[in-house]
Amino acid sequence: MSTTKTIQSALISVFSKDGLEPIVRQLHSNNVTIYSTGGTEDFIKNLGIPVVPVEDVTSYPSILGGRVKTLHPKVFGGILNRQDHEGDIQQMEEYNIPQIDLVIVDLYPFEKTVASGASESDIIEKIDIGGISLIRAAAKNFKDTVIVASMNEYSLFLDIITKQNGSTSLEDRKLLATKAFHVSSHYDGAIFNYFNTDETYYKESIEKGQILRYGENPHQKGFFFGDFDAIFKKLHGKELSYNNLLDVDAAVNLINEFKTDGPTFAILKHNNACGLASRDSISEAYNAALACDPTSAFGGVLIANKTIDVATATEINKLFCEVVIAPAYDDAALAILQEKKNRIILIQNEVELPQRQVRTCLNGILIQDRNNITDNKADLKTVTITSPTEQEIEDLIFASKICKNTKSNTIVFAKNGTLISSGTGQTSRVDALQQAVEKAKHFGFDLTGASMASDAFFPFPDCVALAKEAGITAVIQPGGSIKDELSINYCNENNLAMVFTGTRHFKH
């Protein structure tokens, strides 16, 4: 039996009629018998095209307020029959079941109804029953039946039947069946997540995906699944890579800590800040951030919490950087930044990030709540005789925000609203501190009077001792070690101020 089949009959039952007219007209020109019901039937009639009511096939009207229209053996028999199966052929004749070669469905908009804030009763009514059943039936029987399960596939389907004069190949039908099962599984997942209150169950379905140039390395495939356009408006530049996206994610998380602060600019490399400063203007903030570590800034991701102006763009243009992100750009500033062909320029939209974080682990996944705690002045508990000054408190909180968004173990030094240096991703806290000290020295920064942040407590006084030796005068840490007193006593003996936050900010 030929695997190429000509469509002779179609059942069309859709919620959205957008884009449907060209398909209906093409089917009509191919002499396809069209079955339909409800609003879709009216739509087809209004086009002046003949349509057979489903009620004429089933001998049942649409009942229960439209909840039951297509759920009938004569409909599903027409879809599910195997055209090369003798028993099926006999029963089709015995029960006078019409053959249905094509099913076109567009489901009730359940997700949009939930997102609109509609009442529970309205949401429940948008759980499609007949449509989802038609999709599964036609997709299961793809060897004989064509399924178009969403208006997103209208264009593809129209192209197929136009080029092939109303016929489809087995490959066409299997492709459309695959897309149909995606539609049905995604739809069911959305309904489950609406009802689910058990946190030990996890289902996630993301419709938008894109192939990246490669993963972390050229020999690895890479993909991104998510709605990038909801978070950013891309103005210029090449496609983002896997590593670009990781850096952009880190940049967005970091700058969100400073969303309500004065002009702040950050430069990131490999998910960690190599420069960050807050100043009276965004251009001053950029220059101060760049001075933190101009070597690492090469090829980095730049992000600002305020509009980028001409003065800032002019300075940025002197640096090779992969990505620039800001809430807005002056027109002249944008023109300057666009001078570099491949530079990626993004506008960050006001979008709330997901409240759950997910990563693969072994043969499963790990899920945790987003770390939404940002240390502030009210959180601080001074545990030493010496209290921090107002400037030191500002720098401690500034350093803590950076520390929270830096790979553990980490130590961050800050002074006058500027990241001086950091030790990142070290296997010991002492190593992290020593790395930060050496880096500050390398770039000629004086640590005298600087503040230090740690992402976890000090079990021994060695870190505060090294910090004192380097010139640090104030320390912020979560506290909580059974040996906290050792560090507190050292600080008291050496006139260091130390505050506890009570919140640990490990970041692996």
- The residues carrying an active-site annotation are 140, 270
Whether the upstream peptide bond of residue 287 has omega within 30° of 0, thus cis, is no
Instruction: Report the sign of the C-alpha dihedral through residues 350, 351, 357, 358, in that order.
Output: negative
CB 423 within 8 A of CB 435: yes
Strand partners, 360: 365
Which of 273, 211, 217, 274 has the alpha carbon at shortest distance from 240?
Answer: 211
Cβ-based neighbours of 206, under 8 Å, separated by 6 or more: 225, 226
3-state SS class at 285: helix
What does the buried/exposed string (b/e) look like for 361-388 if buried means 16 or more CB atoms within 10 Å of the residue's CB?
eeeeeeeeeeeeebbeeebbeebbebeb
Q: Which two tokens stand for residue 213?
A: 């140039």
Q: Alpha helix locations (H) across 13-94?
A: 21-29, 38-46, 54-58, 73-80, 86-94
Instruction: Report the sign of the C-alpha dihedral through residues 159, 188, 351, 253, in that order.
Output: negative
3-state SS class at 85: coil
363 residue type, one letter: N
Token pair 């690895």 in the structure block, residue = 220
Which of 358, 310, 329, 74 has the alpha carbon at shortest distance from 206?
Answer: 358
304 residue type, one letter: A
Q: Is 215 exposed, middle or buried (0-12, 13-18, 19+ CB in 10 A)?
A: middle
Backbone phi, then psi, for 125, in 5-degree steps? -65, -20
Cβ-based neighbours of 112, under 8 Å, separated by 6 or more: none
DSSP state, 329? B
Alpha-carbon gap, residue 268 to 140, rounded angstroms = 49
What does the buried/exposed string (b/e) look like for 277-294 if buried means 16 or more CB atoms within 10 Å of the residue's CB?
bbbeebbbbbbbbbbbbe
CB 231 within 8 A of CB 348: yes
> Which long-range contacts does 456-461 make (Cβ < 8 Å, 24+ apart)?
456/408, 456/409, 456/429, 456/504, 456/505, 456/506, 457/481, 457/484, 457/504, 458/429, 458/484, 458/486, 458/487, 459/483, 460/486, 460/487, 461/486, 461/487, 461/489, 461/490
